[in-house]
Amino acid sequence: MASPSPYLLTLYHQYLDDQDTASFVAKASRRYTQGTLQRLAENDSPGVRRSAVLALGFVGDYESNAILGRALQDEDRTVRTLAQNSIRNVWNRAGSDEERQMLETLIRLSSAQHFEEAVRRAGELIQRAPWFAEAWNQRAIAHFSLGHYAEAIRDCHQTLEINPYHFAAAAGMGQAYLQLGNTLSALESFRRALRLNPDLEAVRVQVSRLTRLIEDK
> From first to last of its 217 residues, what are the pLDDT tens digits of the chain?
445 457 999 999 999 999 999 999 999 999 999 999 999 999 999 999 999 999 999 999 999 999 999 999 999 999 999 999 999 999 999 889 999 999 999 999 999 999 999 999 999 999 999 999 999 999 999 999 999 999 999 999 999 999 999 999 999 999 999 999 999 999 999 999 999 999 999 999 999 999 998 887 6
Looking at the structure of the chain, the number of domains it has is 2
DSSP letter at 19 equals -
Using CA atoms, how far apart are residues 205 and 81, in angstroms rounded to an integer? Answer: 19
CATH of the domain at 191: 1.25.40.10
Same domain, 86 and 101: no
Helix (H) or strand (E) holding 162: helix 149-162
Residues 109 and 54 reside in one and the same domain: no
Q: Which residue type sits at 169?
A: A
Q: Please indicate, yes or no, whether residues 63 and 114 belong to a single structural domain of this protein.
A: no
Among candidate residues 50, 73, 91, the one where a domain is terminated: 91
Q: Which range of residues forms the domain containing residue 137?
A: 97-216
Give, in degrees to the nearest 5, the angle at Cα 57 between 188 and 145. 45
Q: Are residues 123 and 208 in the same domain?
A: yes
Q: Are residues 101 and 125 in the same domain?
A: yes
Q: Which of 59, 91, 123 is the last residue of a domain?
A: 91
pTM exceeds 0.85, yes or no: yes
Are residue 12 and residue 85 in the same domain, yes or no? yes
Distance of CA 197 to the CA centre of its chain: 10
d(CA 157, CA 73): 22
Helix (H, G, I), strand (E, B) or coil at 66: helix
Task: Tell me: do 112 and 80 sit in the same domain.
Answer: no
Q: Is the dihedral of CA 123, 127, 128, 133 positive or negative?
A: positive
Asked whether residue 107 falls in the same domain as residue 35, the answer is: no
Residue where a domain stops, chosen among 68, 91, 114: 91
- Rounded CA-CA distance 214/100 in Å is 42
Q: Say which amino acid occupies 63.
A: E
Give yes or no for a contact between 189 and 177, defined as CB atoms under 8 angstroms apart.
Answer: yes
Residue 1 lies in a domain: no
